[in-house]
Amino acid sequence: MAARYRFAWSALILMLAQHSFAAEPIVVAQGSAERAPKQPQLAVAANGHVHLVYGMGDAVFYSRSDDAADSFSTPQLAFRVPNLSLGMRRGPRIASTGKSIVVTAIGGRQGKGRDGDLQAWHSTDEGTTWTGPLKVNDVDDSAREGLHGMAAGTDGSVWCVWLDLREKRTEVYVAKSTDGGVTWGTNIRVYRSPEKSVCECCHPSIVANGKTVHVMFRNSLAGNRDMYVAASSDGGAKFAPARKVGQGTWKLNACPMDGGMLTLGGKGEVITVWRRQGEIFSVGGEKGQEQRLGRGEQPWVTASPNGPAIIWTDGREGDLWFTSGNSKQPQKLGAGARDPMIATAPNGKGPVLACWESKQNGQSIVLAMRIPVDVK
C-alpha cells in the first residue's frame, strides 16, 4: 500500500475526539479545479477490503484499502469512458460480490445528454486489471441522462438501475448480472409514469436480498416530486406497483437533483432516507412513520450492526452530518463536504465507511473515513 495522506483539520479532529471516533478522514485523491476528482463511491467486501472509485475528466480511477480505511493505495487509472457522466450524483458506481469487483459508468460519443450507454467493467484480481466495457442497457443511448445506481445482492448477484429514455420519456429500468458483471440479463422496466416521466434528474437506487429487490426513485405526479419504492419478489421478473414513501409531499415544479437512498435492515425491512424541501427524512419498515433527521440534502444510508447509518450535508456543499441507530442527536463530521455516501459489506456486518468530495488549500480532494458504530 502506498503511503497515505492525512487530512490536517484541527477543528474536525477535536470534534472527533470529543465523540470518541477512532478514525479521521484520509485524503484518497486530490487535483486542481481543471482535473478534479469527483463523485467518489466505495464498496466494502465481505473480507473487509474497501474498494473506491471516482471520476476525473473521462477517466475512472480505483483505490483500495486493506485496513478498513486507515490507509488507501495510490489511485490508479482503471479505464476511460468517453464523455463520462460526472457530477450531481452522476458518476461511476461500484459493487463487490466477494469474487469480483464491478464498476459501472455512463458515457457516449457526443456526451452532454445527447447520447450515453450504461457500461460495466469487472475485476477478479482485487482491482489490478479490469475487463470491459460491456453495455448494460439493451437499447442504444437510452441511458443518456447519466443517472444510475448499483448494488450487490446477498446471493452474489449484481443489480443496476437507471433512468431510461428509450420511449422518449424518463422511465426506471433494471438489469441483473449473476456472474460478477461478466454478462447482464434482459432489461426490465420497473416503472412508467401514468403522466409523462418520473423526476428526470434524481438518481435511482436499488437493494437486493435473494429474489427480493427494491428500487427507489423520485416520481413526478400531479406536480409533486415525492419518493416511491417498487418491489419485486421473483428476482426482478416483474415489479409490484410503486408505493409512495413517507406521509408528507413536496409540491415542486422543478427537479431537486437529490434521489435519496435505501437499504435493508437486519430483519429484511426496507429503510429509506430522502430529502423533502430542505429537510432529511427516514422511514424504516413497511408501515413505519417518517422521522425527521434535520435540515439538509444529498442523504445516503447503509445497514450496520447498530441499525441504519445515515450521512448527509446541510447544503449542496456544507457541513457533513451522521446519525446511527443509537444516536440521540446527529453528529457533525466536518465542513465543506459534497455528495457523501456511506457503505458497509452486503451482509450488513463489518466496518462502516464514508467518502465525499471536499476542498483543501485550493485543491479538490476525495476523503474517506471509517465511522465507528456502537453495537447495542
pLDDT tens string 151-187? 999 889 999 999 999 999 999 999 999 999 999 999 9
The SS3 of residue 15 is helix
Q: Which three cell numbers stand for residue 139?
A: 437499447
- Identify the DSSP state of 288: P
CB atoms within 10 A of CB 211: 14
Q: Which three cell numbers stand for residue 136?
A: 448494460
pLDDT at 287: 66
Residue 325 lies in a domain: yes
pLDDT tens string 197-211? 999 999 999 999 999
Rg value, the chain, Cα: 19
Residues 192 and 241: their CA atoms lie apart, in Å, by 10
pLDDT at 326: 64
Residues 40 and 70: their CA atoms lie apart, in Å, by 17
pLDDT tens string 66-84? 998 999 999 999 999 999 9
Q: Which three cell numbers stand for residue 78?
A: 482503471
- Identify the DSSP state of 169: S
Asked if the peptide bond before residue 194 counts as cis, ω within 30 degrees of 0, the response is: no
Residue 203 lies in a domain: yes
Residue 50 lies in a domain: yes
Residue 335 lies in a domain: yes
Q: For residue 69, what is the domain's CATH number?
A: 2.120.10.10
Residues 302 and 307: their CA atoms lie apart, in Å, by 9
Residue 375 lies in a domain: no
Residue 328 lies in a domain: yes
Q: What is the largest CA-CA distance in the chain?
A: 54
Residue 376 lies in a domain: no
Residues 227 and 198: their CA atoms lie apart, in Å, by 10
Q: Which three cell numbers stand for residue 169?
A: 420519456
CB atoms within 10 A of CB 47: 11
Domains in the chain: how many in total?
1
Domain range enclosing 46:
5-370
Residue 324 lies in a domain: yes
pTM of the model: 0.92
Q: Given the C-alpha cell 482485487, which residue does it identify?
A: 126
Q: Which three cell numbers stand for residue 359?
A: 476542498
Residues 330 and 82: their CA atoms lie apart, in Å, by 40
Give the residues of the chain that fall short of pLDDT 50: 1-22, 375-376
pLDDT at 17: 33
Kindly report the average pLDDT of the chain as a whole number.
91
> What is the dihedral angle through the alpha carbons of 310, 313, 316, 319, rounded to the nearest 10 degrees?
-160
Q: What are phi and psi of 266, to 5 degrees?
A: -65, -25
Nearest-CA neighbor of 147 among 206, 98, 77?
A: 206
pLDDT tens string 270-304? 999 999 999 999 998 666 789 999 999 999 999 98
Residue 223, CA distances (Å) to 178, 220, 255 in order: 39, 6, 11
pLDDT at 165: 98
